[in-house]
Structure 1
Amino acid sequence: MPHILKEAESICLMTRERRLYTNTHANDDYRFWCPAPFAHPSNLDTLAIDPTLRDDIRADLLRFVGRQDYYARVGRRWKRSYLLYGPPGTGKTSLVAAIANFLEFDVFHIDLTAVDSNLELHRLLDSTTPGSVIVVEDIDCSLDLGDRMEETEYDDIDCALDLSDRNEKKELSTAKEAISLSGVLNFVDGLWSSSVGERLMIFTTNHPERLDPALLRPGRMDRQIHLSYCQPAAFRVLARNYLEVGEEHELMAEVDALLKEVNMTPAEIAEIFMGCDGDGTGADAAMQKVVDELRRRRLKEAVSPDDDGQLSGE
């Protein structure tokens, strides 16, 4: 019977409709999340990233979900944190969706700009469910996580403030309660997170250098994954997915050489491929368009600003 119950639970988890939750301001019923069906088609096998990196991520995820007893034995919370960073259009959001699909986890997407206080952030984390991916996208844009304002600064202001001015006092009180770097650090790896288990936290950014080092240290960001411009291996995945074109295509070798010299994101290449008709002729035309665009960019980079004043305009 225990085996039958375990298998039945596994089948229910695989066949259930998974959900995407976004945070909203809490109402009287303390409903912090607004749910919607999660049906993103991205998966690890069709993701346009280096195959070695993809296989490494898959192995890391399988290791994480299968080590509940190990985490308990070594005194660690059963959670793991990823930081995905790289230029726009390199597949960070697609990787988040692929990870959620691979693990068959629900997704809790947190908009930090909609969180009014550290306490609300704590409640959001506490109201997530086991078997979930908690996502914070563009974390460098959500908050100024490099600015640490000490409490003593507020104390100094309070001493110099005319307490009869209640409006200014109220504004200072609101500033104290706003979400802070300390609140985010506790959210990632503090006492707040001690009550949650089987959570994967994923943060994305285009500019990791803007983040406070305290947020990036091991234990808070267990793994940092760099997603860069399209390389030959990732291009082959795109060509196979969109055009059903393999390595034998006559333009593949030239594309490989150009991608080593010119920066082009997977999103830009995918947009070119989307314009193909889907037949053999369309695939050849799409490949040629990619080659033409790569050649144009290489020529543009070879021309100095002194020779062409328009370079800075694009």
Structure 2
Amino acid sequence: MKEFWTSLASLMGVFAFGQTILQTVFPPELRFASVKFFNRVFNWFSSYCYFDITETDGVNTNELYNAVQLYLSSSASVTGSRLSLSRAINSSAFTFGLSNNDCLVDTFNGVTALWEHVVMQRQSQTFSWRPLPEEKRGFTLRIKKKDKPLILDSYLDFVMEKANEIRRKNQDRLLYTNPRGGSLDSRGHPWDAVPFKHPSTFETLAMDPAKKSEIMADLRDFADGESFYQKTGRAWKRGYLLFGPPGTGKSSMIAAMANYLGYDIYDLELTEVHTNSELRKLLMKTSSKSIIVIEDIDCSINFASRKKPAGKTHHAPASPDMRGESGSVGEDCGNSITLSGLLNFTDGLWSCCGSERIFVFTTNHIEKLDPALLRSGRMDMHIFMSHCSFPAVKILLKNYLGLEEGDLEDGVVKELEEVIEKAEMTPADVSEVLIKNRRDKGKAVKELVEALKGRVERRKGISKDVEEEEQEKRALETPKEGSEFLENCKNGGDEEEKIN
């Protein structure tokens, strides 16, 4: 053993002496070139290649780094033994990540990719308008050279797409609105945002199930149709018109659409927009994967008819006068929005500025809308929000009372089927009856049946009153006709007496 340690010490001494000689004889440039040469030789014979993805690209954030971090979080939460845990702003979920200098193996189409999270201390702080973090972070991707085309052409795009899906899933929905006077927020954006917590879903929406399935299929077909819209040369957008009596669930439908697709909502208040240019700027600042809502478009601003003469006043609330064929709003109210200005963004040259956006218009009176708004390409799908039907009542009974159709007596089911269509009650009215009596399920059902029957009787009374008014009108017209007949007869009789 003593001889072994003596030989090892001698060998280390020779190695140190040789290193000193090399540093003395060979200049640093030559040593660097030799190291570089040996690295090239090593890489030439190696079957792997490496890609470095840094956290920052100069002073800008590298989006690919954030995407890889999100993408690997789903795998890291299952296979990792030492993980980092974070929660982003406006997010309702925790995100798992690789800890410092940890590795994870991923598989894509039969190809293996090794990811390593590299964290190093930054040596020196270079001059920058923004201070850089003390740690230099990044991911190193190791793959086989033969798999390089697949990784660069498909895998990285797949990572970005999956990361966006995870981000949308974890991030809370936001509800935007344009403030009064078009003021900007601290970031220079013309929209104010609040978290969107509306619980409405298609499962809880009081509507015929077949109709809901049709709408959901249309929404999913739109969300998955990027390649179709690109191939056909159409802007990736779609328009929906929700019309029907008040209280039929138009706002709940919008919330259900947003929750189903995971989109944000932009509630556009047209009465706060004064010019077409301002409207265009607002719409340009909307993000992709969003729903732009204009509620009660027949009342918010006067787009009802473009053929009214100038100066004719429209009596809808908050609706200035129309001016000629352009559909512009009266200048006395300070507005100059035109119908063509709105249509140009929903279906004109500006419609391609942004992608994957849905326009939703609501109205209680579809007959007041200009036909130019109703055609396909602007309002592609017209959805009639009707009064409560029997399938909708069953959904409301399940939502508020937890009752299925089998839990009801046959006589109650028969009564509901008989009176629901005749009563023409809105889902909002039915919900109010159930909410007030939700602690007593039997009483709630009984009160609902009585309310429906009462509504039917009132409708019969109204119909009877209308019929009596029509009869009175006819009665008032009949004496007039009879008196004319008697007068003619009298005149004829007088003439006959004169002849005699």
Q: TM over 0.5, yes or no?
A: yes
CA displacement, residues 110-136 of structure 1 (integer Å, 9 cap, x when unaligned): 001111111111111100000100000
Pairing partner for 2:430 from 256, 265, 269:
269
CA displacement, residues 79-106 of structure 1 (integer Å, 9 cap, x when unaligned): 0000000000000000000000000001
How many Å separate the matches in 2 of 1:306 and 1:209? 23
Partner of 1:225: 383
How many Å separate the matches in 2 of 1:101 and 1:174? 41
Equivalent AA in structure 2 for residue 15 of structure 1: N
Instruction: Call closer, same or farther: CA 1:209–1:21 in 2, change over 3 Å.
Output: same
Partner of 2:420: 259
Of 9-18 and 85-94, more deviation after overlay is shown by 9-18
CA deviation after TM superposition for structure 1 residue 247, in Å: 1.2
Q: Any idea what SS the aligned residue of 1:228 has?
A: coil
Partner of 2:337: 179
Q: Which structure has the larger Rg over C-alpha atoms?
A: 2
Matches within 5 A, 1:1-314: 1-2=155-156, 3-24=158-179, 25-27=181-183, 30-148=188-306, 178-248=336-406, 249-250=408-409, 251-278=412-439, 282-303=440-461, 304-305=464-465
How many Å separate the matches in 2 of 1:210 and 1:30? 37
Q: Any idea what SS the aligned residue of 1:99 has?
A: helix
Alignment check: 8 A CA contact 2:305 2:369 kept? no
Instruction: Call closer, same or farther: CA 1:240–1:114 in 2, change over 3 Å.
Output: same
How many Å separate the matches in 1 of 2:331 and 2:434? 54
Identity value in percent = 40
How many Å separate the matches in 1 of 2:441 and 2:390? 17
Equivalent AA in structure 1 for residue 197 of structure 2: A
For structure 2, which runs of at least 5 residues remain unmatched after alignment? Answer: 1-154, 312-329, 470-500
CA displacement, residues 142-200 of structure 1 (integer Å, 9 cap, x when unaligned): 111123279x979xxxxxxxxxxxxxxxxx87779611211121132111222121001
Q: Any idea what SS the aligned residue of 1:49 has?
A: coil
Partner of 1:168: none
How many Å separate the matches in 2 of 1:91 and 1:274? 16
Partner of 1:312: none
Aligned length: 289
Instruction: Call closer, same or farther: CA 1:31–1:233 in 2, change over 3 Å.
Output: same
Q: Any idea what SS the aligned residue of 1:261 has?
A: helix
How many Å separate the matches in 2 of 1:49 and 1:265? 11
Alignment check: 8 A CA contact 1:121 1:187 kept? no
CA deviation after TM superposition for structure 1 residue 302, in Å: 2.2
Of 260-269 and 299-308, more deviation after overlay is shown by 299-308
Instruction: Call closer, same or farther: CA 1:301–1:177 in 2, change over 3 Å.
Output: closer
How many Å separate the matches in 1 of 2:281 and 2:467? 58
Alignment check: 8 A CA contact 1:118 1:177 kept? no
CA displacement, residues 228-271 of structure 1 (integer Å, 9 cap, x when unaligned): 00000111000011011111302122111101221100000001
CA deviation after TM superposition for structure 1 residue 31, in Å: 2.4
CA deviation after TM superposition for structure 1 residue 27, in Å: 3.5
Alignment check: 8 A CA contact 1:43 1:102 kept? yes
Instruction: Call closer, same or farther: CA 1:284–1:74 in 2, change over 3 Å.
Output: same
Of 177-186 and 72-81, more deviation after overlay is shown by 177-186
How many Å separate the matches in 1 of 2:188 and 2:225? 33
CA deviation after TM superposition for structure 1 residue 6, in Å: 3.1
Bigger share in strand: 2
Q: Any idea what SS the aligned residue of 1:11 has?
A: helix
TM-score, normalised to structure 2, is 0.55
Instruction: Call closer, same or farther: CA 1:173–1:209 in 2, change over 3 Å.
Output: closer
Alignment check: 8 A CA contact 2:400 2:438 kept? no
Alignment check: 8 A CA contact 1:84 1:226 kept? yes
For structure 1, which runs of at least 5 residues remain unmatched after alignment? Answer: 155-171, 310-314
Q: Any idea what SS the aligned residue of 2:355 has?
A: coil
CA displacement, residues 49-68 of structure 1 (integer Å, 9 cap, x when unaligned): 11001000110001001111
RMSD over aligned Cα atoms = 2.5
